[in-house]
Structures are given as structure tokens and as C-alpha cells.
A and B are shown apart, each in its own frame.
Chain A
Amino acid sequence: DIQMTQSPSTLSAFVGDRVTITCRASQSISNWLAWYQQKPGKAPEVLIYRASTLESGVPSRFSGSGSGTEFTLTVSSLQPDDFATYYCQQYYTSPFTFGPGTKVDV
């Protein structure tokens, strides 16, 4: 099975900060990676798919990059609505594992 790791596990930031989250796969997954945002008590929402394609309706301050085994999610200027937990998921092969999550708080 492909293992996904994320760093950091928690990130403290301020409004306006540039924030970067890293996701690593235990083997190459090409660009078959998605990023999700989840707020407390809510279902996740997709931000990025195919590692770097912005989902329709997602603000352009979110961007994704990477391929192979290392990926990043960047928020160019953190907004109050962005304080949440972020997960990566590989969909290269089953089981389609998620990373453990990165909580972004104030």
C-alpha cells in the first residue's frame, strides 16, 4: 500500500501569510493527487486535483504543485476562511490513501 505523509501536522499562521503544506508518497504516484479542505463539523471539499489543477470555484490563492512522490499545497495569502484542516489523497492505486492531515490555525 502507498503511505502518505504530511508536514507539518499543525501550522500556526496569521491572516495574509503565505502557507505551504507538503505531502509525500511512499512511492511514485505521478500526479494522481488531490487536496481537500475540511472545516470542523463539515464534509471535506476538494481544492486541487491532478496535483495542480484548481477545482472550479476554488479561490486562486490556492495552488498545488509536484509530481512523483513530493507535493505541495500553497495558500498565497491566508484568509480567515482558510483556517481548517487540509488532507492530501493519492488516487494512483488502491487503496486510495489519505494523508494524516495538516491543521492550520491562528
Chain B
Amino acid sequence: QVQLVESGGGVVLRGRSPRLSCAASGFIFSSHAMHWVRQAPGKGLEWVAVISYDGSNEYYADSVKGRFTISRDNPKNTLYLQLSNLRDDDTAIYYCARDRAGTVAGIDSWGQGALVIVSS
């Protein structure tokens, strides 16, 4: 079955640039677009970024554009999110999610999330 396991979260200093990873298994990773979605404590879901199946297209939320970078390594079945210029409001659970198609057609599976706490 589809498994998505995020890692790389924790307490991060505002000046650092951590990278989140999402290890995928149970499906053909290179056939699916992949998303990052985040949720601040006690708040709703916020879509962050998506990357197409082959990495040729990326789209970002305005709140992270220019600061976060989504990427993927298809041979390693791994999705990444590079975070930089972190702000307090980037504190959130970051979910990796699979799209049901190679380009955007809707999320059909979610990881359990990685908590990122931005601290000064």
C-alpha cells in the first residue's frame, strides 16, 4: 500500500535552512505529482507546493514562493522541501501528499506529517 514517511522536522533556528524529506513506497513514485501541505498548530490546511511527476513543473503558495523549494529524486523515491528565510508563521506540521496523477488531479494519499518549529 502507499506509504509516505516524512523526516527532517524538529526545532529549527530562524537563520537555518532545513530540508524535509518524504520517503515514498508502495507505488510507482515517478508516475505521480507530489505535494507539500502544512498545518499550523490549531489551524486549517494550507497548500504549500507541488511538483510534477518528472520534476519539470513546480508551483508554490504565495506565502512560501522564493523561500521554499520543492524537488524530487525519482530513483530514490524521495520528495524534498528545502526551507529557507524561515519565519515564526512557518511553524507547522508539514505533510507530504501524493497526487492521483502525474500532473495535478487531486491528492489521494497523505503522510503522517513532520513538525517544524521555528525558533529564534
Chain A residues within CB distance 8 Å of chain B: 1, 32, 34, 36, 38, 43-46, 49-50, 55, 85, 87, 89, 91, 94-101
Contact = CB atoms under 8 A, between A and B. Distances in A.
B108 A49 contact: yes
Nearest to B104: A91
A27 B109 CA distance: 27
B59 interface: yes
A48 to B, nearest CB: 9
B103 to A, nearest CB: 10
Nearest to B109: A46
Contacts of B45: 36, 38, 44, 87, 89, 98, 101
Interface string B22-66: 000000000000010100000011110010000000011110000
A7 to B, nearest CB: 14
Contact of B47 (A45, A46, A95, A100): A95
B110 A44 contact: yes
Contacts of B50: 94, 96
20 contacts: A43-B95, A44-B45, A44-B95, A46-B109, A49-B105, A50-B106, A87-B44, A89-B47, A91-B105, A91-B106, A94-B59, A95-B47, A95-B60, A95-B62, A98-B37, A98-B44, A98-B47, A99-B44, A101-B44, A101-B45
Contact of B44 (A1, A45, A100): A100
Contacts, number: 60
Interface centre among B35, B59, B106, B113 (most CB of A within 10 A): B106
Contacts of B37: 98
A55 B112 CA distance: 19
B111 interface: yes
A16 to B, nearest CB: 28
A97 B48 CA distance: 9
B107 interface: yes
Given A46-B107, A49-B106, A95-B60, 17 more contacts: A32-B106, A43-B95, A43-B112, A44-B45, A44-B110, A46-B108, A55-B108, A85-B44, A87-B45, A89-B106, A91-B104, A91-B105, A94-B60, A95-B62, A96-B104, A98-B45, A101-B45
